[in-house]
């Protein structure tokens, strides 16, 4: 690992205009970090990465680097790009071992962070470093949100999140696990108790339904719920995964690791239209997944899933739509089926709070700085944008943290 990292770091051209940074949503200072690493100043390199992105060690595991930093590396035009993710992981892993965060004085105001996914963690780090009194309210037992309960261990080790939690606690952030805002406690309770600003980063945890007959049967499950704790499910030996995005690949690979012997990934379109990253598709194939393209569920039955063949046709507006082919229905015999076609936000907080507008998709409506329609309440992450990448959540959340700081300063 170390040899590979050093050799790749030495390949970096130290471009005058680093395209790798331009390709990163959070503008990671890659060139500077690599230079410091090769100068034996790894602690400085780690500080540079962490201050720019407190989730640097997460992003190197889960970012689609092929479309971002590595995809923009000039060496990749005629050969292999610098493996930036491996270099970032090495530096960031080292840095978290030695980093002693600034301990917040809490003197600048009290902030509630509801939800501890990528957006919430970023907000908490940013504001605690600026001497705000921050409390995280997490509905689950541990922080991490989608990072802990939606991404498998083989893609993002949970120990990474544990280390970030330790950093938050050392910085003075308070964490209330197993606490639902919108039920036992409300947003109005938080304002009553002296929180001057409230940040909503509750993610998207409501699975999208297919609205197909048989969807309520006992062997049919939803991906976002399965990934939360796959060990409690008894899927049997054969499993159908409905959908072809990154979550579907995670489900297929996880099922193999929990006893499944055959996994079928059912996609409405062809392989060229798969929404998952190419690397995730390849890993799913390596793990043994069978792909059934141009197939769509018609009905879930006790014996498995009835599928129909599909084809694409022009919708008259320059786009293609999926059309079932009548008479092609067939039974795919499986023990279990898992639906992985996306998820949306739960409305517990919005429905229990006056004055927060939502979009026609049920997402929290905000301006370009994360301000909601109710004064003092801010939001970012998937609850605002729908499911996006971790680094996109970090990038927007940095702007939101600055807006919260400005807002509270205006009150005092």
Cα–Cα dist 87/32, whole Å: 12
| More confidently predicted of 8 and 361 | 8
Please indicate whether the domains covering 2-98 and 209-343 agree at the CATH topology level.
no
Residue 351 has φ and ψ, to the nearest 5°, of -70, -20
Task: Find out if CATH 3.50.50.60 is the number for domain 110-205+345-411.
Answer: yes
The pLDDT value given to residue 320:
87
pLDDT at 368 over 70: yes
* Token pair in block for residue 174: 């308070």
| More confidently predicted of 412 and 30 | 30
Angle subtended at Cα 94 by Cα 168 and Cα 123, rounded to the nearest 5 degrees: 25
pLDDT band at 358; cut points 50, 70, 90: confident
Cα–Cα dist 287/271, whole Å: 17
pLDDT at 316 over 90: no
Residue extents of the structural domains in the chain: 2-98, 110-205+345-411, 209-343
Residue 82's contacts (CB-CB under 8 Å, 6 or more residues apart) are 8, 9, 11, 12, 20, 34, 70, 73, 75
The answer to whether 108 and 408 have CB atoms below 8 angstroms apart is yes
% of residues, the chain, pLDDT over 90: 85
pLDDT band at 347; cut points 50, 70, 90: low
pLDDT at 1 over 60: no
pLDDT tens profile 113-153? 999 999 999 999 999 999 999 999 999 999 999 999 999 99
Task: Just give the CATH number of 209-343.
Answer: 3.50.50.60
What's the chain's Rg over C-alpha atoms? 23
Q: Which of 1.10.1060.10, 3.40.50.12780, 3.90.180.10, 2.60.15.10 is the CATH number of 2-98?
A: 1.10.1060.10
pLDDT at 37 over 90: yes
The pLDDT value given to residue 348:
62
Please tell me the total number of residues recorded for the chain in this structure.
412
pLDDT tens profile 153-191? 999 999 999 999 999 999 999 999 999 998 889 999 999
Helix then strand count (H, E) for the chain reads 17, 16
What's the whole-number mean pLDDT along residues 353-364? Answer: 83
> Could you give the dihedral angle defined by the CA atoms of residues 200, 62, 259 and 149, in that order, rounded to the nearest 10 degrees?
-10
The pLDDT value given to residue 351:
65
Can you tell me whether residue 230 is helix, strand or coil? Answer: helix
125-152: buried (b, 16+ CB within 10 Å) or exposed (e) per residue? bbbbbbbbbbbbbbbbebbbbbbbbbbb
pLDDT at 216 over 80: yes
């Amino acid at each position: 690992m170390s040899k590979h990292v050093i050799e790749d770091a030495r390949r970096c051209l130290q471009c005058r205009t680093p395209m790798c940074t331009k390709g990163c949503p959070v503008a990671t200072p890659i060139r500077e970090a690599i230079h410091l690493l090769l100068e034996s100043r790894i602690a400085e390199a780690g500080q540079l990465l962490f201050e720019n992105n407190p989730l640097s060690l997460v992003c190197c595991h889960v970012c689609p680097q092929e479309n971002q930093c590595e995809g923009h590396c000039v060496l990749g035009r005629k050969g292999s790009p610098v493996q930036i993710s491996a270099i970032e992981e090495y530096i960031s892993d080292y840095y978290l071992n030695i980093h002693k965060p600034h301990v917040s004085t809490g003197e600048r105001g009290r902030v509630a962070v509801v939800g501890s996914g990528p957006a919430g963690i970023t907000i908490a780090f940013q504001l605690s470093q600026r001497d705000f009194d921050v409390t995280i309210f997490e509905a689950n037992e541990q922080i991490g949100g989608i990072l802990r309960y939606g991404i498998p261990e083989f893609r993002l080790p949970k120990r990474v999140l544990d280390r970030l939690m330790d950093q938050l606690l050392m910085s003075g952030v308070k964490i209330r696990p197993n606490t639902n805002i919108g039920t036992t406690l409300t947003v109005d309770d938080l304002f009553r108790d002296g929180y001057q600003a409230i940040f909503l980063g509750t993610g998207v945890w409501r699975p999208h339904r297919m609205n197909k007959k048989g969807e309520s049967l006992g062997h049919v499950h939803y991906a976002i719920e399965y990934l939360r704790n796959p060990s409690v499910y008894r899927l049997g030996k054969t499993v159908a995964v409905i959908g072809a995005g990154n979550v579907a690949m995670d489900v297929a690979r996880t099922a193999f690791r929990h006893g499944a012997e055959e996994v079928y990934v059912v996609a409405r379109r062809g392989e060229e239209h798969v929404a998952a990253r190419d690397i995730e598709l390849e890993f799913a194939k390596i793990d043994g997944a069978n792909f059934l393209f141009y197939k769509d569920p018609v009905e879930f039955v006790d014996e498995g899933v009835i599928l129909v063949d599909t084809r694409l046709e022009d919708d008259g507006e320059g786009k293609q739509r999926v059309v079932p082919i009548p008479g092609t229905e067939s039974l795919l015999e499986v023990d279990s089926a898992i639906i992985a076609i996306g998820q949306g936000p739960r409305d517990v907080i919005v429905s229990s709070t006056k004055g927060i507008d939502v979009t026609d998709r049920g997402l929290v409506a905000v301006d370009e700085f994360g301000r909601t329609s109710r004064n003092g309440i801010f939001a970012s992450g998937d609850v605002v944008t729908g499911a996006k990448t971790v680094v996109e959540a970090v990038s927007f959340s940095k702007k939101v943290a600055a807006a919260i700081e400005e807002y509270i300063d205006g009150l005092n």
